[in-house]
Structure 1
Amino acid sequence: MTRASDSSRPTDASLSGPHYSVADRLDSGYGRADEATRSSDTLLINEQSRLLEAGGRRIFKFGFGQSPFPVFAPAVESLAKHAAEKAYLPVQGLPALRDQVAKFHSDIDHTRWDAERIIVGPGSKLLLFALMKSLPEADILIPAPSWVSYAPQARMAGQRAVRLDASFETRWQVTPEQLEAHCTADPERLKVLILNAPGNPTGLSPEEDTQKRLAQVAHRHGVLVLADEIYGLLHHRGEHRAFALDYPEGTVTTSGLSKWCGAGGWRLGVMHVPAELGAELFARVLGVASETWSSVTSPIQYAAMTAYTRTPGLGAYVQRQRNVLSDIGQWCAARLNKARIRTHAPDGGFYLFPDFEVHREALAARGITTSAELTARLLEEAGVALLPGSAFGCDPSRLTVRLAYVDFDGAKLMNGEQAALEQSATTTLIQGIDAIVEWLNQEA
């Protein structure tokens, strides 16, 4: 492998044989790389939307799932107060913060969070990866659909990612029967079930009976459950059921400030590893942390202590978000269902997972047979940014998309009790949903 244009190669006659540059070897190696190291689809759609807007296009931004609400004001004030903090903090996290997180989640979730078994990380995303990297060889059982990073993280951690296909009829939830079948087929290998509730990309949570039966199966087969509950506080009715409530000894739980506190860019996540899982796993996760991120930014940790302190003001702040998101989510689902785009009304968070299957024949006549083609055409022709179901592990031919209904001014909606859809802050969002319906009704 040579490059004729490279004039800086050694010419010493003693150097015989082919010469390879670093770029040559990188090119060769990347040819064998899998999708585990590609950029996240959610981050890519955000950048793509920005570029199109910079070029003068009007884009309805339903692709990137970032909280539209301002960060809890007292936490911002605390961040400013502690801006001069510069010391490295303990790898595990500031002890006073871990105490506060333990009390907060023990009260909110009615489960035990032990401060000594909590790890503070730079967002729950890296904590999830650190856990997978710390495990012995395992099957990481991932619902399809589910968040885009679970499967790539599993592969990057050297684990085997296994998809468990869900359907509209099961409300996009993994069933206890599916978990039982997989565990029975290969009883010797460690199984790790990832559950995200309320879910990204669906906005849905398991029904209580389903969750209890999943917990029973997990207990019977020694399955480790990784409960990603980053949207837990944004359950629209305040009825989030922590998985650890049903399976405390085998559930690792993650959460953080990015969703309910509107602080995605602060990058602070928390993980609780129950004592029943032993010392080795916990030590390994801390080992990964110590060799990678060292500690979370000091001012952020001090500010997080304020965010994790329950007060009437914090309660009102979270409840207003729930009310706004519920109003908007219910309206969006109803509007799409009226257009025969099957959509479950959300339980929490700010996502919908519409299914265009009823329109398959009409869409095929327009040259659209995959979810990626569907979202590409919607962006090009209607200016609506969505993500294809295939990005979340669904069969590419299944005509599903993820819709993040966050294209509104959250700061304006935080004040007062007026219904969200009656305010100008949601005009763009309403127009975006209407744009999907109008595009769908166009003739081929």
Structure 2
Amino acid sequence: MHYINDNFRNIAPSSTLTINEISKNLEEEGSVIYKFGLGQSPFPVPEQMVKDLRRYSAKKDYLDVSGLLELRQAVAKYHSKKNRVNYNSENVLIGPGSKELLYLSQMIISGITILPAPSWVSYAPQAKFLSKRVEWIKCNMKNNWHIDPEELAKFCSENKREPKILILNSPNNPTGTTHNRLEDLASIAKDYNLIVISDEIYAELDFSGTYKSLSHYYPQGTIISGGISKWCGAGGWRLGTMVFPEELNDLRTAIRSVSSETFTSVSAPIQYAAINAYNTSHDRYLWASRESLAIISEFIFEELSSVGIECIKPEGGFYILCDFSKVINKSSSIRTSKDLCKKMLAELNFANLPGSDFGLPDDDLITRMAFVDFDGSAVLKRFSNDKKFEKEEIPMFFPKIYEGIKKLVKWAKEQS
């Protein structure tokens, strides 16, 4: 092992991908697995995008490192409207998924990486690979699992000399909640000249239908990270976007240069097909996606709350964070959130992730559930008419989620 860089010794694969692989292996062995682990969109890619992918499948040449011009123009126009900032194609980078662009951003931007605890599983490991100092700001249910502006100000005042980068995600993975004090947070970020990466991969899945962004209040210091994996159901297409304000275009130039020496450019057919995601209205598709996710999340919230499992009702995306501390007594077999998840998988075939994977203390009996194990095509078809969706339809359209949650609730009662 002497030839492995110390930053990469004993590293494990991303926990979200690992739980998905474990679930698949168990299914191949004949087990019925209730998959609440990987947060992959259940909805099909919009049909016109699929048609365009076929149409442009013969495109084979390397494209501009920054991305296809027509796509960057469409992305710039889209985010100019959503983020209320006048972007142009030279403010945009296209990458092989937002994860890669986030990694390169952390590589290029110097200073401390500030993260809310909890936050997405990959932000901190990426920083570790780069030997960056990571500072967690603890969040709780009282502040909707998001960074309190006063806590951010306190940290920044105690670390004035060092440059800092703050990574935000709203609606949030792993909690499904939105930050309800963005303007106050923006004021602190401006006071301390923070660079903020606003990970808006779930912004179009805010159940309110309103696009909320820190850039509305702090455009000059906010980099927008996005892509088509969540709101367009195209996770496997691996196309992410990053949009920079003019004030930070030197960072864009640096990331572009590193991109030229790493991934070169994103698949040409994918880029051509993705133009449609940004220059065509997908209002009906998005409305049906939001409505169905809101309905199933409310069912989960009500069921879990009924037995004392504490959680906040999701406001967007497809996640919920669940605190089992009032229903599970710690014992020799359950001392940590990892123990809890292992027991749930062993006894219920219920796959979800421990809160410790998201920056929470390991001894907090908190888990994250993703509610995406259903036929997204069938659900979109059901919502294509205006007939009100009734609770009685949940077992029909969300059978695995319904059955899995019912089993979990029964199990939780038995543990009390």
Taking structure 1 as the reference length, what is the TM-score of the superposition?
Answer: 0.89
Cα deviation per residue 1:15-74 (whole Å; 9 max; x = unaligned)?
xxxxxxxxxxxx235594567942100000000001111111111000000000000110
Q: Aligned partners of 2:193, 2:315: CA distance in 1, in Å? A: 29
Alignment-derived partner of residue 70 in structure 1: 44
Give, in whole Å, the separation in 2 of the partners of 1:241 and 1:340. Answer: 31
Query: Which runs of 5 or more residues in structure 1 are unaligned?
Result: 1-26
TM-aligned CA deviation for residue 415 of structure 1: 0.9
Residue identity matched to 2:37: G
2:330 is the counterpart of 1:364: yes
Which residue is equivalent to 1:354?
322
- 1:204 paired with 2:177, answer yes
CA contact (8 A) 1:60 1:429 kept: yes
Residue 132 of structure 1: aligned partner: 106
> Would the aligned equivalents of 2:7 and 2:128 in 1 still touch at CA under 8 Å?
no
| 1:324 maps to amino acid | S
Percent of aligned pairs sharing the same letter: 39
Q: Which residue of 1 aligns with 2:342?
A: 376
Deviation at 1:420, TM superposition (A): 7.3
1:442 is aligned with what amino acid?
A: E
The answer for the alignment partner of 1:219 in structure 2 is: 190
- CA RMSD between the two structures: 1.6
Alignment of 1:213-362 (within 5 A): 213-279=184-250, 281-311=251-281, 314-359=282-327, 362=328
The offset of 1:309, in angstroms, is 1.5
Does the Cα contact within 8 Å between 2:109 and 2:165 map onto a contact in 1? no
Q: Which amino acid aligns with 1:132?
A: Q
Cα drift, residue 135 of structure 1: 1.4
The within-5 A match list for 1:60-209 is: 60-136=34-110, 138-207=111-180
Paired letter, 1:243: L
Counterpart-to-counterpart distance in 1, 2:355 and 2:90: 39
Aligned positions, number:
410
2:168 and 2:316 map into 1 onto residues whose CA distance is 15
Cα deviation 1:256-294 (Å, max 9, x = unaligned):
000000000000011011111242x22210011101110
Deviations 1:159-191 (A, max 9, x none): 211111111222111111111111111101011
Asked whether the 8 Å contact 1:344–1:352 carries over to 2, the reply is yes
Three-state SS of the structure 1 residue aligned to 2:329 is helix
Q: 1:269 to 1:420 in 2, by over 3 A?
A: farther
Aligned partners of 2:149, 2:408: CA distance in 1, in Å?
35
- Distance in 2 of aligned mates of 1:379 and 1:263: 28
250-259 vs 432-441, which deviates more?
Answer: 432-441
Counterpart AA for 1:270: T
Tell me the SS of whatever aligns to 1:375.
helix
Which amino acid is the alignment partner of residue 416 of structure 1?
A: R
Deviation of 1:111 after TM superposition, in Å, equals: 3.2
Deviations 1:305-350 (A, max 9, x none): 1111233xx1111111011011111111111111110111111000
Are residue 45 (structure 1) and residue 19 (structure 2) matched? yes
- Cα offset for 1:366? 6.7
1:388 aligns with 2:360: no
Counterparts in 2 of 1:420 and 1:236: CA distance versus 1, 3 Å: farther
Instruction: Give the CA deviation at 1:358.
Output: 1.2
Quote the Cα distance in structure 2 between the aligned partners of 1:199 and 1:183.
22
1:412: which partner in 2?
378
Structure 1 residues 295 and 329 mapped into 2: Cα distance closer, same or farther (>3 Å)? same
Structure 2 distance, partners of 1:348, 1:132, is 26
Gapped regions of structure 2 (runs ≥ 5): none
TM-score (norm 2): 0.95
User: Residue 441 of structure 1: SS of its match in structure 2?
Assistant: helix
Which one-letter code corresponds to 2:312 in the other structure? Answer: H
CA distance in 2, matches of 1:116, 1:401: 41
The residue that corresponds to 1:21 in the other structure is: none
Q: Which has the larger radius of gyration?
A: 1
